[in-house]
A and B are shown apart, each in its own frame.
Chain A
Amino acid sequence: MKNAVTNSIGRRIPQKAEGLGRFRPFGGSFALVDAGEEIPRNAPPMRPEQPSRSKVRKSLREAVERSGLQSGMTVSFHHHLRNGDALLPMVLSELEAMGMSDLTIAPSSLTGSHDCVAGFMRRGVVSRIFTSGLRGEVGAAVSRGELDIPVIIRSHGGRARAIEEGSIDIDVAFLAAPSCDPLGNISGARGKSGCGSLGYAQVDAAFARHVIAVTDGMEKYPLPEPVSIRQHQVNSVVAVESLGDPSKIATGSTRITRNPVDLRIARNAFQLILASELLAPGVSFQVGAGGSSLAVASFVRNHMRTKGVKGSFGLGGVTGYMVQMLEEGLFDCLYDVQSFDASVRDSLAENPRHVEIDQSLYANPLNRGCMVHNLDIVVLAALDVDVDFNVNVMTGNDGVLRGASGGHSDTAAGAALSIVVAPSFRGGVPTVKERVQTVVTPGESVDAIVTERGICVNPRREDLLKAASKAGLPVMDIADLKRDVERLTGLPEPLAFDETRPVALVEYRDGTIIDTVYRVK
């Protein structure tokens, strides 16, 4: 790789790339904050239109034509409809039919319903991708080097920051609107495609040059509260038959795992939380929806109920489990940037203490105060980790992109206690590596890695190590865990990459580059 430099965690990163400009190397979790620079903020232009009682356009094409969108511009989408989203494919097909090419797409993430993007890449419709997640067909195509310009992978907070500072300069935002009125007031809490919070889309609506709401749930004006995005930010409204598959948008409530290994991991994590003494009145908490993470929530909930501990707030991607905790009075408030299931959506619509927050308030590290920085405890998953506590949630054991940065690095940096839970091996491959292929979250922001075989506390956290040892927890050195697991599994052959060819760059939340993903051989 030409013009490469080494960042503060020893990863080689390019200083610039064709079509992307120049980069700064990662220099530490809060290095840029410490530098204290003032960073200019992008603002969308005002383009007045004659007063009107309806912004409803006859078709998506008409709305696109009014937007002035052209080849080479940037379009954005949100992924609140998750694996059920049909809007992104619908819009890209329409833009292709209109003869557009060389577009930059900046979805908040790409999900399992976006395999078609690989085709749009190959046909030149899409030439740049900014996203949090890459998986399936698209992840494989990018990993094979099918896109000339590297993908930029951002965390949720990093995306909000990039949009606000103009690194992502959205020309037209296409916002799936589960319920919407003719003037463009939008809610995610109702409608057949109701998905709950529209926290990611709120940032697009605030900063895009032009905003098109696409709905399959038109309601009369004015749209009842809660309203996620208001009319002054929306240019056009388009009604379509369907925004996607409701069964994949709001899935049934998430169940606590019964997998004994996951439960053992969760119990270890819970005991570490207890040892940290953070699970006290006023605690704030975020936990993912994965097997072990959600099980940790069940231990926490049980403890709070039996000991009468009342927390302050729950945050994040919200599961039905957190909603139950809110309803039981275990938290004062739930702040929701993304809702994971149908019960969460309904709670958002009905419970005033369940509050929708946007992506910037959630995690942008450079604004005047994001909520991840107020977290006491976060429990996160991982694909793999390394002896320096770096975490990969992006590339699989085959080196192919198959994950999402999400709020991982944001919450790890912000929370007083960040715990990464993972089984010590998966499919016969150890989870603890000498060096993870792709760093998404730097080890300096991870306090502990918890597996079924033991708890590895980051040596930077002497206090936590002491507390865990005093509580009699199964604490072990991460190098010992690695060795024990390798005794069981053996050591996989190292992967071969084409290190002259970066296919994706992982941006840390502050905009610096933390790692490079190379073409798989």
Chain B
Amino acid sequence: MKGARRSMLYIPGNNPGMIQHAPVFGADSILLDLEDAVSTGEKDAARLLVAHFLKVMDFGALEVTVRVNGADTEWFEADLEAIVPCGPYAVRVPKCNGPKDVQKADAVIKRLEKEHGMDEGSVMIHAMIETALGVENAFALASCSPRVDALTLGGQDLTADLGVPKTREGAELFYARSRVVIAAKAAGIASFDTVWADIGDNEGLLEETRKVTGLGFTGKAAIHPGQIEWIHEAFRPAREDIRKAERVVAAADEAKRMGRGVVAVDGRMVDAPVVKRARRLLDLAALYLCETEDPS
């Protein structure tokens, strides 16, 4: 499925050993991190390293996003100056409190695209929401620039901002998650859920990912390659849903061929959004052809 984005693997920008292997872990997309994973003393080195990898390495079909340092930091512009000309799929802007954080990045990216002869709008922005203010401004963030292609939720910082512990059950994030999903859907863009920090607890990861896919998130971040298959497992369509979708799509194709406007499946009428969802589900199901059924 072109543009599958179930998983996004975080890779520290100062870890060449991991970056060189980025395409092999089976993630749908990766995030090369210049922000929290990199200590202040290593910001320049990581920026140079990531820019170099973007220039020389063939990431294949992998969607590559780079998380730059926040708009309020001294590294923000230097990060964009180095990264944007390398043509990543997107730049993730952390700690977006409101549209001006995104617009600041937008303006710099626009200038850099022009200076480097790139198509305008070729580099996307992922707006990361990790404050209460950001949650309140979710739709404004999602819709303030055509570059914004996804909202992402940062659960660690958000719970810190809320002054509450991050629990295994995640009740404290329920509202924020719902708000982010609705905002992203309303703007017609993707949404990524926060990471599951306990790399030893994959059952917990599976459970949480099932919950957030139920809310409507289109993807989830992974902080370890071992988490990817569990995230994908949570997105795996049920067998009966695939069969139903096949019937819906077959009926829709048949109706189209016969020139009928009305689609009926199992004796019931089916409308256009249902057909659209069925097609998406089959695209998703196709991703599981070469993945084994039970991660271990």
Contacts and interface: CB of A to CB of B under 8 A. Distances in A.
Given A487-B58, A488-B57, A261 B292 contact: no
Interface of A: 258, 260-261, 263-264, 267, 270-271, 274, 298-299, 302-303, 306, 452-453, 471-474, 484, 487-488
Contacts of A274: 292
Given A258-B226, A260-B224, A271-B290, A452 B58 contact: no
Tell me which of B23, B24, B26, B225 has the highest count of chain A C-beta atoms within 10 A of its own C-beta. B24
Contacts of B40: none
Interface string B7-26: 00000000000001101111
Given A299-B296, A302-B294, A487-B58, A472 B21 contact: no
A452 B20 contact: no
A303 B296 CA distance: 9
B258 interface: no
Given A453-B24, A488-B20, A488-B57, A263 B225 contact: yes
Nearest to A270: B292
Contacts of A471: 289-290
Interface of B: 20-21, 23-26, 57-58, 224-226, 289-290, 292, 294, 296
A452 B290 contact: no
Contacts of B58: 484, 487
A264 B289 contact: no
Given A302-B296, A452-B21, A264 B26 contact: yes
17 contacts: A261-B24, A263-B225, A263-B226, A264-B24, A264-B25, A264-B26, A264-B225, A267-B292, A271-B290, A274-B292, A298-B296, A299-B292, A303-B294, A453-B24, A471-B289, A473-B290, A487-B58
Main secondary structure of the interface of B (DSSP, over half): loop
Given A487-B58, A488-B57, A260 B21 contact: yes
Contacts of B57: 488
Contacts of B26: 264
Contacts of B290: 271, 471-474
Contacts of B224: 260
A271 B226 contact: no
A224 to B, nearest CB: 39
List the 3 shortest-distance A-B pairs measured between CB atoms, nearest first. A472-B290, A260-B225, A302-B296
Given A264-B25, A474-B290, 20 more contacts: A260-B21, A260-B224, A261-B24, A263-B226, A264-B21, A264-B24, A264-B26, A264-B225, A267-B292, A271-B290, A271-B292, A274-B292, A299-B292, A299-B296, A302-B294, A306-B294, A453-B23, A471-B289, A487-B58, A488-B20
A271 B294 CA distance: 12
Nearest to B286: A472
B24 A452 contact: yes
Contacts of B296: 298-299, 302
Contacts of A488: 20, 57
Contacts of A484: 58
A164 to B, nearest CB: 42
Nearest to B293: A306
A453 B58 CA distance: 12
A260 B25 contact: yes
Contacts of A263: 225-226
A261 B226 contact: no
Contacts of B292: 267, 270-271, 274, 299, 303
A199 B46 CA distance: 53
Contacts of B24: 261, 264, 452-453
Nearest to A428: B20
